Structure 1
Amino acid sequence: MTQLTGKATVKVDGSEMLTDVDSTLNVGGVSREFMTGPNGVQGYRETYEAPSLSSTVRHTADTDLIALGRIKGATVLFTTDTNDTYVLRRAAVTETVELSGGNIRLNWGGMGVERL
């Protein structure tokens, strides 16, 4: 029987983060927006989107919130429980870091992504 992906781990510069199972990877690329006029669809335009990753990280006594917010130029590995791995290159945290209920939501952007 085929195993389906149910969770993923996130490593930043080789260190695994204590993440929840809700991590989301967007591989980026070309986004297409279809344009309409008075007589219907006229065509589409393309824009580029950077790859991104969003994950919930658990807070511990060793977690440095300020250091997390300063991460840039990192190599981030996203590995599923079906052994599918993607690397987000030259990644940076894109939003301010906020601690809420013992969790930190980290949003990342990167200069590129590839499947290993």
Structure 2
Amino acid sequence: MAGKQIFGRAFIRVNGMTIASLPGTGKLNPGGMERSPVMGDYGFLGFTEKPVNGEIECEIAVSADTDIVALNRTTGASVTFEADTGQVYIMRNASLAMPVSLQSGDGKASVKFIGSEVEEA
């Protein structure tokens, strides 16, 4: 059996601009439906559903070229998550969930985008 590539790296873009994501930090939650059980006296009756937003997050390298103010203003964006195995996912109407917080010493910051359910491109 020939080996096949397993997902290892993610390339994240905001409105087409690649952000400096650090290796091993890219995360994708495609969103969709969250199901909760409904129990009766005789056991499982079924479930209820509620929609869950999509999320794309990573840590970024912060340099003199990193525009933190622009990142913090991100709303209504298209955020793309591309795996090194070829899958490409897009989240539309994305916004930065929390302002980017910088701390000296390690040169990185966490970013998390929230938005519509993720679609495969």
Fold shared per TM-score above 0.5: yes
Partner letter of residue 62 of structure 1? D
- Pick one of 95, 108, 111 that aligns with 2:113: 108
Distance 1:35 1:112 in 2: 25
The residue that corresponds to 2:90 in the other structure is 87
Structure 2: segments with no counterpart, 5+ residues: none
Please state whether the residue corresponding to 2:11 is helix, strand or coil.
strand
Q: CA deviation at 1:55?
A: 0.9
Please state whether the residue corresponding to 1:104 is helix, strand or coil.
strand
TM (normalized to structure 1)? 0.89
Give aligned-pair identity as a percent. Answer: 31
Structure 1: segments with no counterpart, 5+ residues: none
- Pick one of 34, 38, 48 that aligns with 2:37: 34
The residue that corresponds to 1:52 in the other structure is 55
The Cα RMSD (Å) is 1.6
TM (normalized to structure 2)? 0.86
Please identify, of 27-36 and 55-64, the stretch whose mean Cα deviation from structure 2 is larger.
27-36
